[in-house]
Amino acid sequence: MLKLLKNAKVFSPRYLGKKDILVVGDKIGLIDDEISVNITALNVEVYDFSNRIIVPGFIDAHVHITGGGGEGGYSTRTPEIYLGELIKAGITTVVGCLGTDGITRSLENLYAKAKALDEEGITAYIYTGSYAVPPLTFTGDITKDIVIIDKVIGVGEIAISDHRSTQPSIEELKKIVSRARLGGLISGKAGVVNFHVGSGENGIDYLLEIIRKTEIPVTHLYPTHMNRNKSLIDQGIEFAKYGGFFDLTTSSSKEEGIDKTISYLGYCFENKVLDKVTLTSDGQGSLPVFNQKGDFVGLKIGEVSSLFETVKKAVERGLLPFEEALKTVTINPSKVLKLNSKGEIGINKDADIVILNEDLSIDSVIAKGNIVMFEKNLVRKGTFES
């Protein structure tokens, strides 16, 4: 089936102007000012998206698709994510990971969930490993996991500078990154190591030392949660100047957490490193809730909807131009993860597309060339989703 999307303002994420887009199967076949086709002869579905905006489908490179949490006991383990939650958030590509809990959560379950999301209608990948060092693996070897297992594109999230980490040495981290790099070279995948960075005073000192004192390319190190504090952001800017990408987490149980994140986005833009910044939601992770006295009172679940909501708020508050903010959830993560057919509106790119209203609310979503949400109504749901 061919789909003709007409009359929308198109951001690739660079602004292309008002364009028509012809979707052929699961690819973008043509982009032009005006496309005319024989609708009847070619069996074309035509959609008029006047007064709307077309952007690439969002890439969320850090989601606990099988659930996260568990640090407060068995009852604090968060549930698996539903397909519909991802679609409503405009996410057409997701990377699943384990977190703290590599005991009651398994890589096998993570893999099965990624395959299920693929079958249900979006694109899903996973990281091998969890917080711990040595990392959990399928095959007993990081390199083998990346080379042999289709869904595995890297390792993570390995915890550093955090009381929940296994306190790995820099030598252990070097070996992990070098094995991931080798797997990437052999398989043509990213071979990236996603580092969970805690609020410890050492920050990403080990990662900076690795890129200064070894031959390992910086592109294989990918630290996340870098918006915990100003010190980490400054380290991230230094890291970016070596050519590395770093990630900010959007889910937060407090409004001031979102405010802080968008202010850091503006700071990165001012320091000319926004092209090296990604946003991820940490969706389905557990978020502690504290009262005004600072006492723990409960848990919430990280929401994938926070991903584009952060982009939207950064634009609405004048901290970033729309094109620049959009890069953090499209082209930038596609570069980190070597997903060359994603994150961009272009000919022969994957037909993963989000249609926005003029107020930047999500109107419709196309994944793998199929309409999965139309005018805010889910067309595709998970197998057991009501």
Give the active site residue among 20, 282, 350, 352: 282
User: Nearest Cα to 236, choosing from 265, 260, 193?
Assistant: 265
- Residue 275 appears among annotated catalytic residues: no
Question: For residues 364 and 380, is the Cβ–Cβ distance under 8 A?
Answer: no
Q: Which are the catalytic amino acids?
A: 282
